[in-house]
Each structure stands twice: as structure tokens, then as C-alpha cells.
């Protein structure tokens, strides 16, 4: 078990970090990510990609999280590209992933009303002329208005639906950070069932594994970036002639956040490593998802507190970090829901 980044992953991280450090607008940054081949790392060479794996794609997400950049990297790479590559036939991949190297957006509907990551989806998919007709309701779908396709878990498996297709209704819903998010109602919307359709439940489970691993990688970078931002602030900000970092209470609080961040780092790396290696990752993913839902938002609150008055300025970068953390915890279903899943897994041993 070696969690250290290899040379390729270090190179990927370096390129991503360099782009993200530039003062680029969201749309310009997104195009630049595509031009630097960071969106297509996992794509096969026939589609203009580098044929790399989950770990390299997760490296990009970690760096995007570290800067809290407001671009659709998580839904496109983590909820779209990786599941399509894992589940779809080559012919389906050619259609669904077309345009990704140039910045096309993908997304996934991972929650039904009151049911995040439902193991038995309530949405139905029925074979029809031209594909599978899907009926169901979903919430908290990021960037659905910009997505070429949205992956939808159903009772028959994962179906890729064009959000502009007939029978699809998008309703704008709020998010903490302000990024586009939608509720979706499908009424017989026709889409493409990924793969051969022989084991729909396993296809849905694969979508969830990859999505949670992607959220883990992103959250790892998010908390690390917020902690670094705060560490610089308390080192540079002076009170009573001394840096804030020299006060015992400040040092203790940021040390606690550092422990939380390092724990999340190990959990995220373990989850991504197991998923990328095709190993049983369900235990790791459940624990990591719980840690994100339970510990990430409180850690952000401490970092806000350590910033003092500037911490309440909505234009200050820390707000991007903390607001995104709230959204990620909500997408996962919250701490109580995630703890129930961990408890159920422990009681079944």
C-alpha cells in the first residue's frame, strides 16, 4: 500500500496548481483546463485523452478543491467522465464523452427527494424505441443546465439523459456557494442505458462509488486549501505586537483543524486508491463520506473564527471554501445519515 503520488500524478498536480494559481475568470479557467488536457486525462486516446486512471483524475479534483475554484470539475470528471468510462460501451463513450476535452460539461443526479444516493432508485427506466424512457424526480443536480448529459440512477441501471430532451423539466434550486444546481423531473424522457444492462444495481453502485471517491478527493483539497489560507492569515496578522499564531488558543484551534485535515487526507487517499485498483472500497468510502459530512463544516467554522472580522466578509476567499463544504455535506446526506450507514455496515460484520 503506497499512497505517495507517482511522477505522473505529481506532474498533473503541478500543471493544475499552476493554472489555478492564475487570476482567471471561471469560464476562462475552464477553457484553460481543457486546453491543458486536464479534463481528458482519463479518456482513451481515441477520444483525445491520455488513457490515465481514477487516481490521476482525482489528483486534478484535489487541486481544484485546494483553490475552491468555481468550475464544474467535480460533476464533469467525478460524476460524469469516470462513471461513463467504467460503465458504457465504447460506442456509448464516443457519444457521451464527445466534447469533454474542449470543456463540455457532464453531471449526475445522485439524490432523490429525501433520499441521497438511494440504493434502490425510485426512478424507473423502460425500454422503448431509441433507448430507455425514464420517469422520476431528482434534487441537487449540479450544472444540469450546462450539461450535455446527466447520468441518472434507475431501477434498470444508469441512464444518460440529455437535460434538453423532451420530458425533462429543470427547476433552479439554491446552493450555499451559489453554483448552478437544479431539481429535475423526468416524465418518460428517453436516454441511453449504460452498458449491457445485465446488472443495473451494480451499475448504480459503481456510479456512487466513483462519485463519492471524487467528492473525497475534492474535499481533501478543499480543507487543505482553507487551512493553508488561515495559517497564512494568523502568521501575518498581528495583535499586541505579536502574530496571532503565537497565541496558545489560536495555535490549539488550528492544530485541531490540521488533525481533521490530515485524517481526511488519509481517508480520501485510501478510498481513491482502492477504487482505482478495483478493490472493495465500500468500507473506506462510507467512513470517508461520514468524515466529510460530520467534520468538514465544523472545521470550516473554526477557520472562519480564526480569521476574526475578515472571516465574515462574503468577498473573502474563505467563504468559497466554507460554502462549498456545506454543499458537499448536503450532497452526501448529512452526518446523521452517513453515520447510520457506517453503523449498519459495522453491525453486519
345, pLDDT greater than 90: no
CA distances in angstroms from 153 to 89, 93, 183, 306, listed in the order given: 17, 17, 15, 41
C-alpha span between 246 and 234 (Å, rounded) = 9
> For the chain, what is the mean pLDDT?
94
The β-bridge partners of 187 are 135
How many Cα atoms sit within 13 Å of 248 on the Cβ side? Answer: 0
235, pLDDT greater than 90: no
State the DSSP string of 208-247: HHHHHHHHHHHHHHHHHHHHHHHHHHHHH-EETTEEGGGS
- Residue 63 CB partners (closer than 8 Å, separation 6+): 13, 16, 17, 20, 221
236, pLDDT greater than 90: no
Instruction: Indicate the SS3 state at residue 326.
Output: helix
* pLDDT of amino acid 158: 98
- Residue 273 CB partners (closer than 8 Å, separation 6+): 1, 3, 55, 279
User: How would residue 247 be classed by pLDDT, with cut points 50, 70 and 90?
Assistant: confident
User: How would residue 243 be classed by pLDDT, with cut points 50, 70 and 90?
Assistant: confident
* pLDDT of amino acid 1: 58
C-alpha span between 313 and 235 (Å, rounded) = 19
State the DSSP string of 232-287: HHHHH-EETTEEGGGSHHHHHHHHHHHHHHHHHHHHHHHHHHHHHTT---HHHHHH
Return the number of other C-beta atoms located less than 10 Å from residue 166's C-beta. Answer: 9
Return the number of other C-beta atoms located less than 10 Å from residue 120's C-beta. Answer: 9
- Residue 136 CB partners (closer than 8 Å, separation 6+): 112, 121, 122, 123, 124, 152, 154, 186
C-alpha span between 101 and 35 (Å, rounded) = 7
| % of the chain with per-residue pLDDT over 70 | 99
Q: What is the pLDDT of residues 89-106, one digit of tens each?
A: 999 999 999 999 999 999
* pLDDT of amino acid 250: 82
pTM value is 0.96
Summarize the confidence of residues 36-52 as an average pLDDT. 95
Report the length, in residues, of the chain: 349
* pLDDT of amino acid 348: 59
Q: What is the pLDDT of residues 282-326, one digit of tens each?
A: 999 999 999 999 999 999 999 999 988 787 788 899 999 999 999
How many Cα atoms sit within 13 Å of 256 on the Cβ side? Answer: 14
* pLDDT of amino acid 146: 97
* pLDDT of amino acid 2: 63
Q: What is the pLDDT of residues 176-229, one digit of tens each?
A: 999 999 999 999 999 999 998 889 999 999 999 999 999 999 999 999 999 999
The lowest-confidence range among 31-35, 113-117, 305-309, 328-332 is 305-309
How many Cα atoms sit within 13 Å of 115 on the Cβ side? Answer: 13
* pLDDT of amino acid 240: 81
309 or 138, which is more confident: 138
User: How would residue 347 be classed by pLDDT, with cut points 50, 70 and 90?
Assistant: confident
314 or 174, which is more confident: 174
Amino acid at each position: 500500500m503506497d499512497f505517495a503520488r507517482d511522477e505522473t500524478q505529481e506532474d498533473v498536480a503541478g500543471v493544475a496548481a499552476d493554472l489555478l494559481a492564475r487570476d482567471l475568470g471561471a469560464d476562462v479557467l475552464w477553457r484553460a483546463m481543457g486546453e491543458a488536457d486536464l479534463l481528458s486525462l482519463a479518456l482513451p486516446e481515441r477520444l483525445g485523452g491520455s488513457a490515465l486512471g481514477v487516481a490521476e483524475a482525482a489528483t486534478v479534483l484535489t487541486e481544484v478543491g485546494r483553490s475552491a475554484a468555481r468550475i464544474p470539475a467535480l460533476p464533469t470528471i467525478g460524476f460524469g467522465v469516470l462513471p461513463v468510462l467504467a460503465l458504457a460501451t465504447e460506442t456509448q463513450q464516443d457519444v457521451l464523452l464527445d466534447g469533454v476535452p474542449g470543456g463540455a460539461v457532464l453531471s449526475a443526479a445522485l439524490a432523490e427527494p429525501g433520499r441521497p444516493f438511494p440504493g434502490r432508485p425510485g426512478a424507473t427506466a423502460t425500454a422503448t424505441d431509441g433507448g430507455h424512457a425514464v420517469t422520476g424526480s431528482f434534487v441537487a443536480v449540479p450544472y444540469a443546465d450546462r450539461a450535455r448529459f446527466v447520468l441518472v440512477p434507475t431501477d434498470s441501471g444508469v441512464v444518460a439523459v440529455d437535460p434538453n430532451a423532451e420530458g425533462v423539466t429543470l427547476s433552479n434550486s439554491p446552493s450555499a456557494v451559489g453554483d448552478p444546481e437544479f431539481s429535475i423531473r423526468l416524465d418518460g424522457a428517453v436516454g441511453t442505458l449504460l452498458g449491457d444492462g445485465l446488472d443495473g444495481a451494480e451499475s448504480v453502485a459503481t456510479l456512487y462509488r466513483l462519485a463519492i471517491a471524487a467528492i473525497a478527493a475534492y474535499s481533501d483539497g478543499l480543507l487543505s486549501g482553507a487551512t493553508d489560507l488561515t495559517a497564512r492569515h494568523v502568521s501575518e496578522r498581528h495583535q499586541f505586537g505579536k502574530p496571532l499564531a503565537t497565541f496558545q488558543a489560536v495555535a490549539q484551534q488550528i492544530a485541531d483543524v490540521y488533525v481533521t485535515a490530515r485524517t481526511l487526507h488519509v481517508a480520501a487517499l485510501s478510498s481513491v486508491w482502492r477504487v482505482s485498483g478495483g478493490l472493495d472500497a465500500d468500507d473506506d468510502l462510507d467512513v470517508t463520506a461520514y468524515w466529510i459530512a460530520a467534520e468538514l463544516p465544523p472545521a470550516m467554522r473554526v477557520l472562519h473564527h480564526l480569521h476574526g472580522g475578515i472571516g465574515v466578509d462574503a468577498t473573502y476567499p474563505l467563504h468559497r471554501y466554507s460554502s462549498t463544504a456545506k454543499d458537499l455535506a448536503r450532497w452526501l446526506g448529512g452526518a446523521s445519515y452517513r453515520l447510520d450507514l457506517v453503523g449498519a455496515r459495522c453491525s453486519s460484520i
